[in-house]
Chain A
Amino acid sequence: MSPHPPWIGYAWAAAATVLCTLAGFAMTPRFDLVNVAMVYLLAVVVIALRFSLGAAIATSLASVALFDYCFVPPQGAFSVDDAQYLLTFAIMVAVAIVISGLTRNVRDQARAQAALEVEAETERIRSALLASISHDLRTPLAVMSGASSSLAEHGDQLEEAQRRELARSVYEQAREMAERVSKVLQMTRLESGGMTLSRDWVSLPELAATVLDRLSERLSGHRLMVEWPQDLPLVNVDAVLLEQVLVNLLDNAAKHTAPGTVVRLRAQVRNSDIVVSVEDFGHGIPEADVERVFAKFHRGNTAGTAGGMGLGLAIARAIVRLHKGEAWAEKMPGGGTAFRFTLPRETSPAMPAEPVEA
């Protein structure tokens, strides 16, 4: 089916024949009638290419009628001899049918191709998910069952320090796993489109403070710089979801850059939006990956060691888009990568001023 309502095709058909007739009037003193007929045929071809077969046949009919009436002598009237123009009409209809058929074939093929690509993409995601689950969940599970069985079965024979270390690794792996599972769930929820935003006026520096607190352990090896402009307005967002965006971007920076390097969180106020950036000073990512880092299950080349399912950035982008913003990555001059996203800039409602204290 063509994407527009059927009457649009007929409107174009009428417009095209009228145009051809005007062109015909301009041509007649100098050109043969056969050339005028060709102009009408062109209209039929164009309408058949763009619109329905019905519109193309209507174009043929109108063309023949107008051609006969306006250009074939005696002009301004139909005549008995004009029966020959039934043949012209038949040819035009034939052209319309052939062109419409060809166009439909091309459209169908394109659609089939697109469906195949969607299927291939779904398949790719499914296998990536399975691979992730087997690696990213089985490894911590193995660690947890190993460490906890040592504790349960030989706990009394172990030194206090060893017991603590085993317990600690169970705890850390469990937290990591819980986070991964919730990422998969969140991605699923975001994709199903069932997510409603619970918007609120939020201060970015305040939100970032809770994120930095949550990630303090993971970011402890990096040198963190936080820069907020003086005139940074409040943003009208879902605070919990936006917190997740910041967590995912900062976590990504911590995972993929060497300890000791700088991670910079900052914002920039522009005309209609606010740009929030997490910039790192790592090795940077290959040019080809700059476009793809936000895709689902894309992992940087350090993924094997850094873990994670490549969902963090995809989730961040999906959340930003729900807020009518955009997320992207760019190379920083002199190495490193900037992950940026925008949020619409809005004016928060006024607040009654408090009388200045005496």
Chain B
Amino acid sequence: MNAARGTILVVEDEPEIRRFLRSSLGAEGYRVVESATGRRGAIDAGSHKPDLAIIDLGLPDMDGVEIIRRIREWSSMPILVLSARTHERSKIEALDAGADDYVTKPFGIGELFARVRAAMRHRVRPARGGMALRLGETTVDLEARRVIRAGAEVRLTPIELKILGCLAHHLGMVVTHRTLLAEVWGPGHEGDTHYLRIYLKQLREKLEADPVRPRHLLTETGVGYRLVADD
């Protein structure tokens, strides 16, 4: 097993889940460092300098959000959190504290790998400057502010462009309602989620092949939105 794809720190108290993560991430070519407690995890994050951390939000000894805060004091390494469905509030807290994304338990390994890859890619190439995004038959060139769909140019409003830009900046990763609203409409609008409902509908109608079943502008219920592009 080589570490060609990087080192991943797994902070998880359940040994069975650690074992399963170790073998599947290992099989994908990642080196895995395991911490069984939150305290240990915070130390290992410093000593092993992993390329990415996966942190369980339900650790008995320490709040997962607290570990994220501690790591964020000195590092911008990508952090994924594992959390139970219906615990939207804790997911949002973790994201606000600086986590990059989350995976809901129980999860399939395909989903976890997709999140890991998106978070790693973001660290290497954060802005995706100059890169055109392919969303099905639609191509988005954010730098040139040009959107082409099936050969024809699509006009986006300045706000639609800003939303798309913010999502593209975190390509493949979740962006919370709060972050989107603050970045697009400015401070004081963090609670105005109805703006997003209306604009995302417009964006889907302009960009998605089937706006009723979107494939690229995805909703993370109760949390935010995620832009997924074709590779």
Tell me if A182 and B85 are in contact (CB < 8 A).
yes
Does B47 belong to the interface (CB within 8 Å)? no
Does B166 belong to the interface (CB within 8 Å)? no
Partner of A240, one of B88, B155, B198: B88
Does B108 belong to the interface (CB within 8 Å)? yes
Residues of B within 8 A of A205 (CB): 201, 212
Residues of A within 8 A of B159 (CB): 354
Cα A354 to Cα B160 in complex, Å, equals: 10
Give the contact stretch, choosing among A33-41, A121-129, A171-179, A330-338: A171-179
B207 to chain A, nearest CB (A): 14
Chain A contact residues (Cβ within 8 angstroms of B): what range?
20 to 34
Does B158 belong to the interface (CB within 8 Å)? yes
Cα A348 to Cα B194 in complex, Å, equals: 7
Tell me if A234 and B194 are in contact (CB < 8 A).
yes
Cα A351 to Cα B195 in complex, Å, equals: 6
Tell me if B213 and A212 are in contact (CB < 8 A).
yes
Cα A201 to Cα B198 in complex, Å, equals: 10
Tell me if B222 and A206 are in contact (CB < 8 A).
no
Contact A209/B219 with A174-B106, A178-B106, A357-B158 known, Cβ cut-off 8 Å:
yes
Question: Per-residue CB proximity of A162-181 to B under 8 Å, as 1/0?
Answer: 00000000010011001000
A206 nearest CB neighbor, chain B only = B219
Partner of B200, one of A178, A206, A212, A240: A206
B112 to chain A, nearest CB (A): 14
Question: Per-residue CB proximity of A237-248 to B under 8 Å, as 1/0?
Answer: 011100100000
A214 nearest CB neighbor, chain B only = B221
Tell me if A198 and B213 are in contact (CB < 8 A).
no
Partner of B155, one of A212, A243, A357: A357
Residues of B within 8 A of A207 (CB): 219, 221
Cα A348 to Cα B108 in complex, Å, equals: 37
Tell me if A201 and B193 are in contact (CB < 8 A).
yes
- Residues facing B in A132-173 (CB within 8 A) are 171
Tell me if B195 and A210 are in contact (CB < 8 A).
no
- Residues facing B in A195-239 (CB within 8 A) are 198, 200-203, 205-207, 209-210, 212-213, 226, 228, 234, 238-239
Tell me if B197 and A206 are in contact (CB < 8 A).
yes
Cα A143 to Cα B86 in complex, Å, equals: 28
B167 to chain A, nearest CB (A): 15
Tell me if A210 and B219 are in contact (CB < 8 A).
yes
B21 to chain A, nearest CB (A): 16
Tell me if A239 and B222 are in contact (CB < 8 A).
yes
- Residues facing A in B149-206 (CB within 8 A) are 155, 157-159, 192-195, 197-198, 200-201
Tell me if A200 and B193 are in contact (CB < 8 A).
yes
Residues of A within 8 A of B219 (CB): 206-207, 209-210
A205 to chain B, nearest CB (A): 7
Partner of A201, one of B197, B200, B220: B197
Question: Per-residue CB proximity of B123-138 to A under 8 Å, as 1/0?
Answer: 0000000000000000
Question: Per-residue CB proximity of A327-358 to B under 8 Å, as 1/0?
Answer: 00000000000000000000011010010010
Contact A210/B221 with A226-B212, A351-B192 known, Cβ cut-off 8 Å:
yes
Does B214 belong to the interface (CB within 8 Å)? yes
- Residues facing A in B205-231 (CB within 8 A) are 212-214, 218-222
Does A103 belong to the interface (CB within 8 Å)? no
A258 to chain B, nearest CB (A): 23
Cα A205 to Cα B157 in complex, Å, equals: 22
Residues of A within 8 A of B213 (CB): 209, 212-213
B202 to chain A, nearest CB (A): 10
Residues of B within 8 A of A240 (CB): 86, 88, 221-222
Cα A91 to Cα B193 in complex, Å, equals: 72
Cα A226 to Cα B220 in complex, Å, equals: 20
Does A186 belong to the interface (CB within 8 Å)? yes
Residues of A within 8 A of B155 (CB): 357
Question: Per-residue CB proximity of B48-62 to A under 8 Å, as 1/0?
Answer: 000000000000000
- Supply 28 A–B pairs (Cβ within 8 Å), ascending by A: A171-B108, A174-B106, A198-B222, A200-B222, A201-B197, A202-B193, A203-B201, A206-B201, A206-B219, A207-B219, A210-B219, A210-B220, A213-B218, A226-B212, A234-B194, A234-B197, A239-B222, A240-B222, A243-B221, A243-B222, A349-B192, A349-B194, A351-B195, A354-B157, A354-B158, A354-B159, A357-B155, A357-B158
14 further A-B contacts with Cβ under 8 Å, apart from A228-B212, A351-B192, are A178-B106, A198-B88, A201-B197, A202-B193, A203-B197, A206-B201, A207-B221, A209-B214, A212-B213, A213-B213, A213-B218, A349-B192, A351-B194, A357-B155
Interface of A toward B, CB cutoff 8 Å: 171, 174-175, 178, 182, 186, 198, 200-203, 205-207, 209-210, 212-213, 226, 228, 234, 238-240, 243, 348-349, 351, 354, 357
